[in-house]
Amino acid sequence: MLIRGKAKWAKITGEPGWGYQNAHKEWSIDVYLDEETVHRLEVEGLKEKIKDKGNGPYMTFKRRELKQDGSPNQPIRVVDHHGEAWNPKTKIGNSSTVNVNFAINEYGKNQKSANILSLQVWDLVAFEGGEFPTREDDKPWAEEVA
């Protein structure tokens, strides 16, 4: 299945980061969805995978660094809007438009998962953040508070 949405919290390039409760390392991305896409996912039986914390529906896609047998997993394939390999040093900023290619797998009794296969960055929004200001750029604290 292929969907389009807005990226948030993209930790999908480079080395994997620590996942939930630091239990394992993984690559992950939240993809915010429009109403039509939500409906398509619900029809496919993925309603339980759609979350909303008050700022719109989204799905989280992730891949663990290690498979269940302990062998290494391949990073998620990421390409640009021309289909060319993504530069792993270019971080994907929030609100970037992305296309997500994923497989729907069934497990247990009527349970489904969405396993990301690849991601295409359709419209990049530059990543901003993660850097502290330098002293030369920083205003005195008292001026900012006043």
- DSSP 8-state secondary structure symbol assigned to residue 99: E
Span 91-125, pLDDT tens digits? 999 999 999 999 999 988 888 999 999 999 999 99
Span 25-63, pLDDT tens digits? 999 999 999 999 999 999 999 999 999 999 999 999 999
Question: What pLDDT, on the 0 to 100 scale, is given for residue 108?
Answer: 81
Residue 80, pLDDT > 70, answer yes
Global confidence as pTM:
0.83
- CATH class of residue range 2-145: mainly beta
The SS3 assignment for 86 reads: coil
CB proximity list for 112: less than 8 A, separation 6 or greater:
44, 45, 46, 48, 49, 104, 105, 106
Question: Domain-by-domain residue ranges, the chain?
Answer: 2-145
13, two tokens: 């390039």
